Amino acid sequence: MNSSDFDSGVNAKDENTPANELDAYDFELPRDLIAQEPSTHRTDSRMMVIDRSSGRIEHASVRDLPSLLRAGDAVVVNDSKVIAARLVGYRANTRGRWEGLYLREENGIGELLSSTRGFLQPGESVVIRDPEGRENQQLTLVARTPEGNFLFKPTPERPWLELLEECGRVPLPPYIRDGQMTTADRERYQTVYARNPGSVAAPTAGLHITEDLIKKLRASGVALVALTLHVGLGTFRPIQTKQLADHQMHSEFAQISEPVVKRLTSCRSEGGRIIAVGTTSVRTLETSAMHGNGSIIPWSGETNIFIRPGHRFHAVDGMLTNFHLPKSSLLVLVSAFAGRELILEAYAKAIEERYRFYSYGDCMLLL
């Protein structure tokens, strides 16, 4: 059952406010503020700190995070691992260039976005070149989905995750070097706690966290727990509707375990705060709470929750998040949490202070 089957907590009267119009989330960003490379060290990134109740905006560094949280707080991270989902090769019969992006797999058949000159036909094969240029894998087109995606079968047959690990490339967002990865990206476009393969893009707020920072958080009495949401391509798709209420959110697999729920419930009962690292952690926690009628419960399944102004937050008290694209569902989510006016003021200050934006950029802590 999808989260759209539940009451999102958005009041009908909220649907007609200016904050529910897409144009209310637009801003001008100088292109040179879009980070093309990660910071030298993960914790070197700047961190804007925003107090939601007072509206106070301060400037800090990611390494200051332990001093800004309290003993008894719980930090929630997304342990999904980015898979090397981008495949490059050529059509077997024409040798024309082919490129694909793996989305998901079912019963050995992979669903991919596919780009090539001309039209692939069922039964036609493509030859994959691995990052070293070797040609050791073919894919055969089985069919097309109603949405226009392509269903491929490996030849010879093999597990898709194994195929991607050997032949794939990290699918960087197009605003980073036009999507062209380097060897260093395999390590830096991945969180240090990534465990469960399945994302086609990194949960980027977590890229700032190091093993040393985790040790310091725990030493200060802050717990760190993990849930999973596999980030899909839809995360980067722009909202096409003028009214937010008309936007259909993409679905992504998410899960939160019983031990994590017990730890978070204990945190709250003892006066601690739940601090979500990234919008993916927020969406998973809030989906769990929606299924639990306001209480965080163990849960696993597909979520298409669209958090927008008017949403009543049940599971999140604070958030660490990067700076997002204009008119994006991620910017709308952050604005729902802290207020659109405050967030746009913060973004204006970030531009003035030359913060670095998007996946490899700086971040903000909302408390």
- List the CATH number of the domain containing 91: 2.40.10.240
Q: Do 123 and 269 lie in a common domain?
A: no
Q: Do 153 and 232 lie in a common domain?
A: no
Q: How many residues does the chain have?
A: 367
Does residue 29 lie in a domain region?
A: yes
Residue type (1 letter), 144: R
pLDDT digits (tens, 9 = 90+) for 134-188: 998 999 999 999 988 999 999 989 999 999 999 999 888 888 998 888 888 889 9
pLDDT digits (tens, 9 = 90+) for 178-221: 888 888 888 999 999 999 999 999 999 999 999 999 999 999 99
Q: Do 138 and 218 lie in a common domain?
A: no
Q: Do 104 and 200 lie in a common domain?
A: no
Does residue 233 lie in a domain region?
A: yes
Of 140, 167, 194, the residue at which a domain comes to its end is 167
Does residue 181 lie in a domain region?
A: no
Q: Which is it for the CA torsion 114, 119, 122, 123, positive or negative?
A: negative
Q: Do 139 and 252 lie in a common domain?
A: no
Residue 5 is predicted with a pLDDT of 42
pLDDT digits (tens, 9 = 90+) for 117-131: 888 999 999 999 998
Band of the pLDDT at 13, cuts 50, 70, 90? very low
Enumerate long-range contacts of 347-356, CB under 8 Å, 24 or more apart: 347/27, 347/323, 348/27, 349/48, 349/57, 350/48, 350/323, 351/27, 351/29, 351/30, 351/33, 353/59, 354/33, 355/33, 355/46, 355/48, 355/323, 356/33, 356/34, 356/35, 356/39, 356/45, 356/46, 356/323
Domain with residue 13: its CATH number is 3.40.1780.10
Residue 109 is predicted with a pLDDT of 96
Residue 7 has pLDDT above 80, yes or no: no
- Which residues in the chain belong to E strands, given as ranges? 46-50, 57-61, 74-78, 80-82, 86-91, 97-106, 109-116, 125-129, 135-144, 150-155, 196-199, 223-229, 252-256, 274-277, 299-303, 318-322, 363-366
Residue 49 is predicted with a pLDDT of 98
d(CA 364, CA 357): 11
Stretch 288-311: mean pLDDT: 96
Query: Encoding tokens for residue 27?
Result: 């801003």
Q: Do 19 and 139 lie in a common domain?
A: no
Q: How many domains does the chain have?
A: 2
Query: Encoding tokens for residue 358?
Result: 């998007």
Is residue 59 within 8 Å of residue 281, measured between CB atoms? no
Stretch 32-56: mean pLDDT: 97
Q: Do 337 and 205 lie in a common domain?
A: yes
Mean pLDDT of all residues belonging to the chain = 93
Is residue 96 within 8 Å of residue 90, measured between CB atoms? yes
Residue 222 is predicted with a pLDDT of 98
Does residue 255 lie in a domain region?
A: yes
Its domain, for residue 138, covers: 86-167
Which distant-in-sequence residues (6+ apart) come within 8 Å of 236 by Cβ?
Answer: 173, 201, 325
Residue 15 has pLDDT above 60, yes or no: no
Is residue 256 within 8 Å of residue 296, measured between CB atoms? yes
Q: What is the largest CA-CA distance in the chain?
A: 65
Q: Do 23 and 162 lie in a common domain?
A: no
Residue type (1 letter), 219: A
Of 167, 201, 218, the residue at which a domain comes to its end is 167
Residue 4 is predicted with a pLDDT of 46
Does residue 53 lie in a domain region?
A: yes
Residue 299 is predicted with a pLDDT of 98
Residue 269 is predicted with a pLDDT of 97
Q: Do 56 and 107 lie in a common domain?
A: no
d(CA 208, CA 227): 17
Of 167, 201, 222, the residue at which a domain comes to its end is 167
Q: Do 202 and 321 lie in a common domain?
A: yes
Q: Do 205 and 255 lie in a common domain?
A: yes
Predicted structure pTM score = 0.90
Residue type (1 letter), 275: I
Question: By percentage, how much of the chain surpasses pLDDT 90?
Answer: 83
Q: Do 127 and 258 lie in a common domain?
A: no
Band of the pLDDT at 1, cuts 50, 70, 90? very low
Does residue 175 lie in a domain region?
A: no
Stretch 89-107: mean pLDDT: 93
pLDDT digits (tens, 9 = 90+) for 248-278: 888 899 999 999 999 999 999 999 999 999 9
Residue 14 is predicted with a pLDDT of 52
Does residue 178 lie in a domain region?
A: no
Band of the pLDDT at 89, cuts 50, 70, 90? very high
Does residue 177 lie in a domain region?
A: no
3-state secondary structure of 20: helix
Residue 172 CB-density burial (10 A; 0-12 exposed, 13-18 middle, 19+ buried): buried
Which distant-in-sequence residues (6+ apart) come within 8 Å of 310 by Cβ?
Answer: 9, 10, 11, 14, 15, 17, 20, 336
Stretch 224-228: mean pLDDT: 98
